[in-house]
Amino acid sequence: MIRSTTNKPPFDVVRCSHAVLGATDLGASEQFYAQHLGYVVTERTPDALYLRNLECRTHHSLVLQRLPEPTCEALVWKVANEDDLDLASRWFQSKNLPAAFVERHGQGRTLRTCDALGMPLEFYFSMTSAPCKLQQYDDYRGARIQRLDHFNCFSPDVQKSYEFWSELGFRLTEYTVSEESNNALWAVWLQRKGGVHDIAFTNGRGPRLHHFAGWVPSVSDLVHSCDLLSTAGYVKNIERGLGRHGIGNALFLYLLDPDGHRIELFCSDYLTVDPDLVPKRWEFRDARRQTLWGMPAPRSWFEHGTPFPNVGVVDPLIKPQPVLAH
């Protein structure tokens, strides 16, 4: 069921900022992300790698922590003001959810909490500055990713995820309903910054992170990434694409990093800032929603994801079977 947008959320989230991911071999991760995808290394510590994309003006847009398991430690968000952190803390406490201020390298005050299904979330306002590389073209490498675009998560209860994030002022741009399940929500795309999404939820065993996505300026960056990765020993890391989703009009390429975290390279969505934008409805059996050109996704795309630490994973409430390629 679709609900009206909350125009006055309890605190002001600007955009998705970065994921904090567990990495079992930081050297292998650095080779993949920095050497081949072109992430800029802001800082290496004994236990972490702080990476940023080309247009980032701050310390990190991806954090890899040396951990024994490839988990997603947090999905991290930038808020509009310091005061929003206090408003957020009070709001999460009012929902009987954890809310604690924690120390994070390169960031100001950071609030750690979770969403209604237990996904670990962090919110901050300030981050240490770093040089923007947007017009340092001689530093461009690999996929030439400019910034983080969005997170996509498996949810066992998409309706519940949608209602939670809508209450925080996230606006629905597109959604899929399952005709076989009484038109229940199968997936939602929700935004704060004016693109198609800052976060999306897809029906599946969860909660788990499905992928995070880097925004690239053109389709040629996707083609170049395929050429580069396939000839640099990473052909098995190319999971899906390139192609165009019907949803979001997005050109996509899905990759698996050395730990199995999925990263999407992404471009070609559209502006969604109008407050009266009518969300686009898709039906589950319309195969063009997942690939406009008709090529189905592989099974792994619907089943493989990154777990959150100490968060139980459960089967989804609805179980329509997607069309698979293999």
Please, what is the minimum distance in Å from the beta carbon of residue 271 to Fe ion? 17
Complex with Fe ion: residue 99 or 196, whichever CB lies closer = 196
| Cβ proximity of 177 and 1 under 8 Å | no
Q: How far is the CB of 214 from Fe ion (least distance, A)?
A: 10
For binding to Fe ion (CB under 5 A), which residues are involved?
152, 213, 264
Closer to Fe ion by CB, 13 or 250: give it. Answer: 250
**Closer CB to Fe ion, 84 or 264, in the complex:** 264
Closest to Fe ion by CB, 146 vs 152, is 152
Burial class (CB in 10 A: 0-12, 13-18, 19+), 79: buried
The minimum distance between CB 12 and Fe ion, in angstroms, equals: 24
> Shortest distance, CB of residue 215 to Fe ion, whole angstroms?
10
**Residue 238 has which token pair?**
């190319």
CB 232 within 8 A of CB 36: yes
213 burial type by CB count under 10 A (0-12 exposed, 13-18 middle, 19+ buried): buried
Backbone angles phi, psi at 313, to 5 degrees: -105, 130
> What gap in Å lies between CA 127 and CA 110, rounded to an integer?
10
CB of 1 to Fe ion, least distance (A): 24
Shortest separation between residue 88's beta carbon and Fe ion, angstroms: 25
Rounded Cα–Cα distance for residues 23 and 67 (Å): 6
Report, in Å, the least distance between residue 67 CB and Fe ion: 24
Nearest approach, Cβ of residue 254 and Fe ion (Å): 8
Q: How far is the CB of 250 from Fe ion (least distance, A)?
A: 7
Smaller CB distance to Fe ion: residue 42 or 176? 176
